[in-house]
Amino acid sequence: MSELITHHGGYRRLKSFQVARLVYDITVRFCDRYIDRHSRTHDQMVQAARSGVQNIAEGSQASAT
């Protein structure tokens, strides 16, 4: 019988996590190439992409409690 709520840590297999990670990686590369590293825009874009990845990981851990 499968568990209704699985153990946390399996979020890395989720398609949403994989896509969020891809978006983060591409955003970092884009910003490093086209936006001044010292600008606030660079920081905001990278932080927003990082938040998407982090929110999925935190949500997975919260659902396991």
pLDDT, tens digit, 9 for 90 and up, residues 20-63: 999 999 999 999 999 999 999 999 999 999 999 999 989 887 77
* CA–CA gap between residue 53 and residue 56 (Å, rounded): 6
Note the pLDDT of residue 4: 52
Q: Is there a domain that residue 6 lies in?
A: no
Q: Is there a domain that residue 4 lies in?
A: no
Q: Is there a domain that residue 53 lies in?
A: yes
Q: How far is residue 3 from each of residues 20, 24, 27, 34, measured CA to CA in Å?
A: 26, 31, 36, 46
Structural domains of the chain, count:
1
Whether the CB-CB separation of 53 and 21 falls below 8 Å is answered with yes
Q: Is there a domain that residue 2 lies in?
A: no
Q: Is there a domain that residue 7 lies in?
A: no
Domain span holding position 50: 12-63
Tell if the pTM clears 0.85, that is, is over it: no
Q: Is there a domain that residue 5 lies in?
A: no
